[in-house]
């Protein structure tokens, strides 16, 4: 009875073992096919494709292959006086000169079903060429063919050149594959995994070294533990991460902005202050002359006035930052110059940067353009606005292929990007390489 649960197209090892057992029993292809839920022609093709051939033995060409071999009394055919009965020379001579062909054993099994000798009763005594079907060997041959068929590049040279013309220029601009696929999904005929394989095979002008994500991250230290000295400082009073969670539990619609700084060199000098809206991943970057509390307060005051107090209070209701010394003056961050509250500041736990992971992840894009250790002294705020514009115009997997700019138009006031000096960049013009800010 045909099995209705068999839906796989290819035969499995279990199926092949069943075929071998049924061949020994003498079952027909029709019966085997019904049991496996396959067409009889599928069974026939499987056996023909994977059957093993064993050559005929030497006895198959002499008298031992004659139907009258046991009753035959002819001898001394070789001409030797001391010839013994069943002499090999006599056998060959007699076979070629005296025995008619119709006395020889023949077998037409290879030319009609089942094409193999698995179920033949005479297979242990027959000296002719034999054919066998073995499930284990058939499965091994199938798996080898399956592996070989999936190797190489499944594209014509013309198609590959066309794909290279799309992919390589964008990768060399520093665009991540997530952005490229979000913009050119209809023009790329392969999946992202296949594209990575093609890059590994070096079939494109772009190379793996051009992909930022192919560089491994430095292994994190596992022995870092919070220092109790940092847990009880006065600036953290009622501003811990637990306080932040409590506030958000009671104000779930509050707009949250993550705050941090990005330094160029370890020596004092210019650095970047970054603010990211959690709702849309849109990031504002402000160039600071120094990484100090005074510069941070001045930058926030300027932003407060630039985007208007009303917009600041609405979209910067909650600011979540780390325990850097430049942020340890929450009182002047939370209140404007007249002493009126404009936001609430909370601090992540020490050594817990993952609590503001969206901003930490976004810093990766900054490092594509400004590598760690490079001085920022030569940059202006216009340069940094240009960098922020390209970062916010990069499509993200985490945003389902959308860009922070596109979501910002929906989730925050449209005037904020304009007032902070940012502009939307065309998808194919996005560049995340040091060349973006080279002068």
pLDDT tens, residue by residue, 133-169: 999 999 999 988 887 766 667 778 888 889 989 999 9
Residues 50 and 121 reside in one and the same domain: yes
Contacts with 390 (C-beta within 8 Å, 6 or more apart), sequence order: 369, 425, 430, 431, 432, 436
| One domain for residues 427 and 316 | yes
Q: How far is Cα 52 from Cα 123, in angstroms, rounded to an integer?
A: 14
DSSP state of 378: T
Residues 24 and 62 both lie in one domain: yes
pLDDT (tens digit, 0 to 9) for every residue of the chain, 439 residues total? 444 444 567 899 999 999 999 999 989 999 999 999 999 999 999 999 999 988 876 555 556 666 666 666 666 566 565 565 556 555 555 554 556 555 666 777 777 888 898 888 777 777 788 889 999 999 999 988 887 766 667 778 888 889 989 999 999 998 988 899 888 888 888 888 888 888 888 888 888 888 876 655 555 555 555 555 544 578 999 999 999 999 999 999 999 999 999 998 877 789 999 999 999 999 999 999 999 999 999 999 999 999 999 999 999 999 999 999 999 999 999 999 999 999 999 999 988 889 999 999 999 999 999 998 899 999 999 999 999 999 999 999 989 999 999 999 999 999 999 999 999 999 999 999 999 998 5
Shared domain check, 129 and 162: no
Kindly state whether residue 224 falls inside one of the protein's structural domains. no
The structural domain count of the chain equals 3
Residue 354 located in a structural domain: yes
Site of tokens 């400082």: 233
- Whether 93 contacts 77, CB under 8 Å: yes
- Cα 376–Cα 381–Cα 385 angle in degrees, nearest 5: 105
Nearest-5° angle of CA 416, CA 419, CA 423? 85
Which of 102, 126, 148 is a domain's end point? 148
Does a structural domain hold residue 2?
no
Tally Cβ neighbours within 10 Å of residue 160. Answer: 15
- For residues 17-53, one letter each, b for 16 or more C-beta atoms within 10 angstroms of the residue's C-beta and e for the rest, the string is ebbbebbeeebebeebbbbbbbeeebbbebbeebbee
Cis bond before residue 3 (omega within 30° of 0): no
Task: Let me know whether 65 and 169 are in one domain.
Answer: no
288 with 429, same domain: the answer is: yes
Question: Residues 137, 257: one domain?
Answer: no
From 121, 148, 175, the end of a domain falls on: 148
Quote the pLDDT of residue 292. 93
Phi, psi values for residue 53, rounded to 5°: -105, 130
Same domain, 144 and 42: yes
Same-domain pairing of 392 and 413: yes
pLDDT at 2: 46
Question: Hey, what long-range contacts does 164-168 have (CB within 8 A, 24 or more apart)?
Answer: 164/203, 164/204, 164/205, 167/195, 167/204, 167/206, 168/204, 168/205, 168/206
Enumerate residues 6+ apart whose C-beta is below 8 A from 6.
36, 37, 38
0.75 surpassed by pTM: no
Start-end of H helices in 150-240: 157-172, 177-184, 192-200, 228-231
* Strand ranges inside 80-172, DSSP E: 130-132
Which domain range does residue 290 map to? 233-436
pLDDT (0 to 100) of residue 108: 73
Q: Say which CATH number the domain at 344 has.
A: 3.30.420.10
d(CA 1, CA 36): 9
- Is 227 a domain residue? no
DSSP for 58-85?
GGGGSGGGBTTTTT-----TT--TTPPT
pLDDT at residue 1, as a whole number = 44
Q: Does residue 82 share a domain with residue 59?
A: yes
Rounded distance between C-alpha atoms, residue 187 and residue 155, angstroms: 14
Q: Do 241 and 349 meet the contact criterion of CB atoms below 8 Å apart?
A: yes
Per-residue buried b or exposed e for 67-101, using 16+ beta carbons within 10 Å of the residue's own CB: eebeebeeeebeeeeeeeeebeebbbbbbeeebee
Distance of CA 103 to the CA centre of its chain: 66
Q: Same domain, yes or no, for 209 and 241?
A: no
Task: Give domain status of residue 228, yes or no.
Answer: no
- Considering the domain boundaries, does residue 221 fall inside one? no
Whether 127 and 244 map to the same domain: the answer is: no
Does 241 reside within a domain?
yes
How many CA atoms within 13 Å lie on the side-chain side of 97?
9
């Amino acid at each position: 009875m045909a099995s209705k649960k068999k839906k796989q197209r290819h035969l499995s090892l279990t199926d092949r073992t069943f075929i071998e057992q049924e061949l020994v029993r003498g079952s027909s292809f029709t019966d085997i096919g019904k049991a496996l839920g396959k067409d009889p022609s599928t069974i026939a093709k499987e056996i023909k494709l994977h059957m093993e051939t064993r050559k005929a033995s030497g006895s198959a060409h002499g008298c031992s292959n004659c139907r009258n071999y046991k009753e035959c009394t002819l001898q001394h055919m070789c001409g030797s006086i001391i010839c013994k009965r069943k002499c090999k020379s006599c056998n060959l001579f007699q076979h070629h000169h005296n025995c008619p062909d119709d006395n020889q054993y023949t077998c037409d099994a290879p030319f009609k079903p089942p094409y193999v000798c698995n179920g033949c009763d005479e297979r242990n005594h027959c000296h002719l060429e034999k054919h066998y079907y073995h499930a284990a060997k058939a499965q091994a041959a199938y798996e080898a063919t399956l592996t070989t068929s999936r190797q190489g590049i499944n594209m014509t040279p013309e198609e590959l050149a066309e794909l290279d013309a799309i992919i390589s220029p964008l990768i060399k601009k520093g665009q991540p594959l997530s952005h490229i696929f979000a913009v050119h999904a209809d023009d790329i005929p392969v999946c992202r995994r296949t594209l990575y394989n093609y890059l590994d095979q070096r079939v494109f002008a772009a190379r793996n070294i051009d992909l930022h994500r192919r560089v491994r991250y430095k292994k994190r230290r596992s022995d870092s533990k919070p220092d109790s000295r940092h847990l009880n400082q006065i600036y953290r009073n009622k501003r811990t991460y637990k306080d932040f969670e409590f506030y958000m539990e009671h104000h779930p619609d509050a707009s949250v902005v993550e705050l941090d700084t990005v330094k160029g060199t370890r020596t004092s000098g210019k650095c970047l202050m970054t603010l990211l809206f959690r709702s849309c991943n849109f990031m504002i970057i402000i160039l600071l002359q120094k990484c100090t509390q005074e510069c941070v307060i001045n930058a926030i005051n300027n932003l407060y006035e630039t985007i208007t107090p009303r917009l600041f209070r609405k979209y910067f209701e909650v600011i979540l930052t780390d325990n850097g010394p430049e942020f340890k003056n929450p009182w002047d961050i939370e209140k404007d110059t007249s002493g009126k509250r404009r936001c609430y500041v909370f601090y992540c736990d020490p050594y817990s940067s993952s609590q503001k992971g969206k901003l930490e992840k976004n810093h990766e894009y900054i490092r594509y353009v400004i590598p760690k250790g490079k001085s920022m002294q030569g940059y202006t705020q216009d340069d940094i606005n240009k960098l922020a514009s390209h970062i916010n115009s990069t499509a993200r997997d985490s945003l389902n292929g959308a860009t922070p700019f596109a979501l910002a138009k929906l989730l925050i006031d449209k005037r904020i990007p304009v007032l902070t000096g940012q502009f939307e960049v065309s998808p194919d013009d996005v560049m995340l390489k040091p060349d973006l800010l080279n002068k």
